[in-house]
Amino acid sequence: MPQVELLKLLEGIGNGKIGMDCSVMPTKFTDIKMIQTTDFFYPLVDDPYMQGKIGCANVLSDLYAFGVADCDNMLMLLAASTDMAKPARDTVTRLMIEGFNDQATFAGTTVSGGQTVMNPWPIIGGIATSVCKETDYILPVHAVAGDVLVLTKPLGIQVAVNVHQWMINPEKWARVSSFMTKEDAIRAYEVAMESMARLNRNGARLMHKYKAHAATDVTGFGILGHSRNLAQNQTAPVHFELHTLPIIKQMREVSEKASAFNLMKGIAAETSGGLLICMPADQAEGFCNEIQELDGWPAWIIGKVIPNDSQDVSKNTSNIIDNPTVIEF
């Protein structure tokens, strides 16, 4: 659901804000909290096994955005497609379950249950829970002026998966065929798929080592939507300024020339995107170097935290500067 529409639905309910990535709940034990999150979505890749892996990674990312690297338990939310013939439905559903379960195992957790329904579209997602001491997680509220903003995955996921679908639609493919080949589209799709399936777990661990002050994961609201939401959660009067956008190769051109997705405006949806982390400027280079070494993928310094001159935290927000630097990945 678009961020603007969701905010309208929330008017007059609670504080009227979208809130944080996870629910932080007290337990009956002193200094022990239960951190929990849930997410699900519809297919966006052709491979149902990879769809399961991406679904699991996407659920876990909200825990990772709190610096929680260890998930104690997962539940699976699953819909099998009524629009598929039974043999195809059984195969696809089984592969999604396997992908989700294998990814959970790789993340060091287990799937202990869940809920399964029938639905026209297949759906995969779940619930992730961790029981933590207060020193084990980082509430996303402590950004200060002078921090920098680090992003751990490239942007352009929605563009890449949609262009891949356009390959079988002559009318839509004609929008981009003048400047890219089908091999280009397949490569961008493969990069997007691998990026979505990659866990943000190492990023969560490194948040503690490099003294991160706040973080979120970049998903359906796009880089600008999520950075604005993160800014609004801060207790200090700050403003987030984004000066660099790392984007999967050629996806900027697709967005601009095909008049689709609003990628450069920062509102193109991402799925299982990277962590957007506020951290001290003198820590960011070390973080980027170490995550590159651990994951084999780069991270980028994409912005900075500056004072909110109004000194009113209710006016904390984020913007992308005019003509930001674009790094093609």
Tokens 């962590």 -> residue: 275
pLDDT digits (tens, 9 = 90+) for 57-95: 999 999 999 999 999 999 999 999 999 999 999 999 999
Whole-number pLDDT of residue 17? 65
Q: How far is CA 113 from CA 49, 69, 79, 101, in A?
A: 19, 21, 14, 11
Name the 3-class secondary structure at 238. strand
Whole-number pLDDT of residue 12? 83
What is the token pair recorded at 257? 């020339």
Query: Residues 289, 229: contact at Cβ < 8 Å?
Result: no
Whole-number pLDDT of residue 72? 98
* pTM for this entry: 0.95
The single-letter DSSP state of residue 266 is T
In angstroms, the CA 209 to CA 207 distance is 6
Query: Residues 150, 221: contact at Cβ < 8 Å?
Result: no
In angstroms, the CA 306 to CA 146 distance is 6
What is the token pair recorded at 266? 């920062």
List the chain residues with pLDDT less than 70: 15-18
What is the token pair recorded at 259? 């008049």
Instruction: Name beta bridge partners: 327.
Output: 246
What is the token pair recorded at 61? 């990312």
Name the 3-class secondary structure at 232. helix
In angstroms, the CA 108 to CA 90 distance is 27
Helix 157-166 crosses helix 182-197 at what angle (to 10 degrees)?
Answer: 140
Which positions ≥6 away from 166 have C-beta within 8 Å?
A: 172, 173, 175, 176, 185
* Closest by Cα among 311, 315, 283, 316 to 299: 283
Q: How many CB atoms lie within 10 A of CB 293?
A: 9
Q: How many CB atoms lie within 10 A of CB 117?
A: 10
In angstroms, the CA 280 to CA 231 distance is 16
CATH code: domain 3-136 is 3.30.1330.10
CATH superfamily of 147-328: PurM-like C-terminal domain (3.90.650.10)
What are the backbone dihedrals phi and psi of residue 18, each rounded to the nearest 5 degrees, phi first? -65, -35
Q: What stretch of H or E contains 214?
A: strand 214-217
Query: Residues 119, 76: contact at Cβ < 8 Å?
Result: no
Whole-number pLDDT of residue 21? 87
Query: Residues 214, 226: contact at Cβ < 8 Å?
Result: no
Tokens 């990814």 -> residue: 103
In angstroms, the CA 242 to CA 156 distance is 16
In angstroms, the CA 215 to CA 306 distance is 16
| Residue 231 C-alpha from the chain's centroid | 16
Query: Residues 87, 301: contact at Cβ < 8 Å?
Result: no
Helix/strand/coil (H/E/C) assignment for every residue in 29-58? CCCEEEEEEEEEECCCCCCHHHHHHHHHHH
User: Domain-by-domain residue ranges, the chain?
Assistant: 3-136, 147-328
Whole-number pLDDT of residue 152? 98
